[in-house]
Amino acid sequence: MDEEHRGVIMEDEDRRTKRRRAAAAREQQTAYEFSRTPIYPGAKCSRLSYTLLILNLQARFGCSNECISGIFRLLADKVLPEGSDVPNSCPEAKKVLTVVGMDYEMIHACENDCILYRNEYSDSTSCPECQTSKYRTNTQGKTIPRKVLRRFPIIPRLRHMFQCRPLADMMTWHKEHRSDDGFMRLVVDSTAVQHVEQTWPEFRRDPRHLRFGLASDGVSPYGVKSSSHSTWPVVLTNYNVPPWLTSKKGFLLLALIIPGPKKVRNIDIYLELLVEELQQLWTGVDDVYDGRTERIGRDMVFMQSENVVDIWLHDLMIQHLLDPMHIETNVTKSRIKRIFGEEDGKPARRACEEFGVHPEAWIQVSDGGIESLPPAPSILTTEERKICKKRISEIRFPTGFGSCLRKGFEKDGPERPSALKSHDYHILLQYVLPICLQDLGTQDLRDAICDLSVLMRWVRSKTILIAEIDEKKLFAVTTLCKLERTLPPDYFDSQIHLLVHLVREVSICGSVHGRWMYWLERYMKVMKDDVRQKARPEGSMAEGHRLREGMFLCSNILEQLDQSSAFMFREKEETHLTSLKLIGSGEKMRLTQIEVMQAHNFVLHNSAIMEEWTAVYEDERLAALASRRRGRPVRFSSLREFMREKLLQPEALAESSGLYPHITEDIMILRAHEDQHLIDITFHEDYG
């Protein structure tokens, strides 16, 4: 390239840089003016805070635009002084979000996902590849585009996050809370992230450099499974912040909404827009105000000239991630169908004969030529199925742990389970099936399911011990071998064999909690709830997301705003039983002595004030077990017996009260009910 052309390119780049700086300065100045200008002389509320307080109602309660416009008009006409500087409608109020940078772009696309009508195709009226027209005529005779992509620029949103001091502080959380004790707890502890930091030492030097995860999935905006409409949101999750915030709505960056109704054929043309922004972030962004250091600079991202696509292809240890949620769901669903005999038939039995395995399950032919299917070792008998379904349907989970499985396993319903969600299969495999099948089926069947449950529980662990990863890789192979001993060959599809690769992926990427699809499924449920206009669901999704995002990023300006409804961050969300209400009037019932002992043991084991007692009990229990091996009897069989011995003797109680001054009247229930065998209680089905 000659010097003349190089000079022209440099001048163009300088002009673009100046325009970006001027636009950023205007945006910050406008936001500052809106936050400082009162709605009328002497008012405590600014134009920005007034607008956001009312828009917060729409974000919290899902009010329609007409409802919010009515509130604006009512306040402007009947409540506020004449001449107040306030918006009169919801569309006018949402312009405030546009002014402060919370806006999105609409880009026309080819109906067959061939091109985007931008750059050299911006003036085209038809696709140059498939010749499909860019526009169509609706029922009113108007010309409208066939397909519209909605793009949310991530750089302005990152600017707002860095301008907020609490959010800017969180961008370095991963550096301050890393572990070097041989465990992987965070995504940034994984081998893949450490490989990136070792390859580019400058990237690791500044902890504010961003670490993103990219996810996308199809969603039916109407909430109906039979609907063929498929919309694809593309979401970025930020691994710099604490792990309990990476999946919160305020910290998820929605980059694109790829419209339906058909499933996207070529997603690469849409991801080009995101790649361009990531390339700009990788090379550096100017004039970013950091709320932590209170200065403006080029500090938001790492500055390098490499192409991000080349880095993704050649320098990352892994380019695509498996989804543990869907793999676990498919494996468990197939396993349950096999147990209940839904997928059993002549094709499966003939496959066993073809491969020469499981001869006890081969098709038997009588003298009259009638074929019959003998009992297979991988299938429960009719009586065992009823017992298993009864056990599963009677299980009750703590609030928030899992949904009720009665609908999927009705005792008098169909033989196969139904109406189960992905999380239901997760609970079934990891907690329910090993217990419900403890005396059902063959021993090989129970061992295989228990090993599969242990493997998946390790995969989804929040803490991964690096030293045992190689052992778990071998355990995954052994588990598959045990499954092959009990199941026919047609059971082993690609999903089953992905278990081996899933364990390998854990060794590279760490815990699955920051990269499985549960958080995306929850967020897509929020997007589906935003759909009010069925004819244009993507537009409703975009407006709903812009409103939530604006409330989150601007809420630091409003001290009087309800922070929980504005999706502000909290350390950890906890639900206390004292704040929950019992449902229904309850049912009177009487507990037997065994049930009283079981309930009391549960309370003792799960009370915070009993931690020191529990530790002493465990030490003495282990010592008692060692004594039993030497022929000595065990003095107590449970924590309740141990507490009775310590508390019902006056000298032991006085000694224990000195050691543990927090002994309360609650624990004295042992003495109050010592002679009672039956207790009357009120039983409630649920609380909420």
Q: Closest Cα partner for 439 from 480, 482, 394, 380? A: 380
Q: Are 553 and 610 within one domain?
A: no
For 380, the token pair is 């429960």
Where is 602: in which H helix or E strand? helix 593-605
Are 407 and 542 in the same domain?
no
CA R_g for the chain: 31
Distance (Å) of CA 140 to CA 121, 135, 450, 537: 28, 14, 62, 19
Q: Mean pLDDT, to the nearest integer, of 217-222?
A: 84
Asked, for residue 688, whether it belongs to a domain, the answer is: no
For range 273-278, the mean pLDDT: 86
Write the pLDDT tens digit of every residue in 184-195. 888 888 888 888
Domain shared by 163 and 306, yes or no: yes
Compute the distance between CA of residue 41 and CA of residue 78 in angstroms, rounded to an integer.
18
How are beta strands 212-216 and 587-591 bridged, if at all? unpaired
Residue 575 placed within a domain? no
Q: Categorize the per-residue pLDDT at 583 as very low, low, confident or very high, splitting at 50, 70 and 90.
A: low
CA separation for the pair 261, 423 (Å, rounded): 27
Cβ(593)–Cβ(673) below 8 Å = no
For residues 467 and 364, membership in a common domain is answered with yes
pLDDT single digits (tens) 142-174: 888 899 999 998 888 888 777 777 788 888 888
- The CA distance from 84 to 81, in Å, is 6
Q: Which residue has the higher pLDDT, 273 or 286?
A: 273
Domain closes at, from 36, 64, 99: 99
Q: How far apart are the first and last CA of the chain?
A: 70
CB-based burial label for 454 (10 Å; 0-12, 13-18, 19+): middle
Backbone dihedral angles phi then psi of residue 279, each to the nearest 5 degrees:
-65, -40
pLDDT range class, residue 198, cuts 50, 70, 90: confident
Q: Which residues make Cβ contacts (< 8 Å) with residue 61, sequence separation at least 6?
A: none
pLDDT score for 76: 87
pLDDT the model gives residue 8: 43
Res. 478 pLDDT band, cuts 50 70 90: very high
Residue 640 in any domain: the answer is yes
Q: Which residues make Cβ contacts (< 8 Å) with residue 553, sequence separation at least 6?
A: 102, 157, 160, 161, 164, 250
Q: pTM (2 decimals)? A: 0.73
Name 50's bridge partners.
none
* Mean pLDDT computed over 433-450: 87
Examine the pLDDT at 584 and tell me if it is beyond 70.
no
Q: What residues contact residue 187 under an 8 Å CB cut-off, 6+ apart?
A: 193, 211, 213, 239, 243, 509, 510, 511, 514, 515
Give backbone dihedrals phi and psi of 600, rounded to 5 degrees, phi first: -65, -40
Residues 362 and 488 in one domain: yes
Check if the beta carbon of residue 182 is closer than 8 Å to that of residue 467.
yes
Residues 289 and 420 in one domain: no
pLDDT at 414: 52
Residue written as tokens 């039916």?
A: 220
With a CB cutoff of 8 Å and minimum separation 6, the contacts of 240 are 170, 171, 172, 173, 174, 207, 208, 210, 211
Same domain as 174, residue 115: no
Helices (H), 487-565: 494-509, 518-529, 537-554
Nearest to 373 by CA among 355, 350, 339: 350
What is the C-alpha separation between 529 and 254, in angstroms, rounded? Answer: 16
* Residue 519: inside a domain: no
Give CA–CA dist 501/508, Å, rounded. 11
pLDDT at position 308 is 57
In a 3-state reduction of DSSP, which class is residue 655? Answer: helix
576, part of any domain? no
Would you state the pLDDT for residue 559?
42
Helix (H) or strand (E) holding 98: helix 90-99
Query: How are beta strands 464-465 and 212-216 bridged, if at all?
Result: unpaired
**Cα–Cα distance measured from residue 163 to residue 300, given in angstroms and rounded to the nearest whole number:** 11
391-400, 428-437, 639-648, range with the lowest pLDDT: 639-648
Residue 215 pairs with which residues in a beta bridge?
235
Q: What is the DSSP string of 402-446?
A: ----TTTS-TTS-SS--S--HHHHHHIIIIIHHHHTTTSS-HHHH
Is position 570 within any domain?
no
What's the CA gap between 455 and 94, in Å, rounded? 50
Weakest mean pLDDT among 39-43, 155-159, 396-400: 396-400
Residue 503 CA to residue 513 CA, distance in Å, equals: 14
What's the whole-number average pLDDT of the chain?
Answer: 76
Indicate whether 174 and 306 sit together in one domain.
yes
Q: Domain of 241?
A: 153-319+526-557
| Residue 579 located in a structural domain | no
Contact 558, 51 (CB under 8 A): no
Q: Could you give the C-alpha distances from 109 to 112, 115, 538, 573, in angstroms and in order?
A: 8, 6, 14, 41
Q: Do 92 and 123 belong to one domain? A: no
Instruction: Report pLDDT for 633.
Output: 56
Which residues are paired to 148 by β-bridges? 108
Q: Are residues 355 and 493 in the same domain?
A: yes
Q: Please say which residue of 479, 514, 549 terminates a domain.
A: 514
Residue 346 lies in a domain: yes
For 78-92, 192-206, 443-457, 565-579, which range has the lowest pLDDT when averaged over its residues?
Answer: 565-579
Do residues 236 and 214 make contact, with C-beta atoms less than 8 angstroms apart? yes
Q: Is the pLDDT of residue 345 over 60?
A: yes
- Tally of CA atoms within 13 A in the half-sphere of 122 that contains its CB: 4
Give the strand pairing for 288-290 and 135-137. Answer: unpaired
Total number of domains constituting the chain: 5
Q: Are residues 470 and 509 in the same domain?
A: yes
For 390, other C-beta atoms within 10 Å of its C-beta total: 13
Query: Which pLDDT band, with edges at 50, 70 and 90, does 284 fall under?
Result: low
- At 74-130, the pLDDT tens digits run 988 888 888 888 888 888 888 777 766 677 889 999 988 898 998 888 888 889 888
Do 180 and 277 have their domain in common?
Answer: yes
Whether 275 shows a pLDDT value over 60: the answer reads: yes
Cβ(231)–Cβ(218) below 8 Å: yes
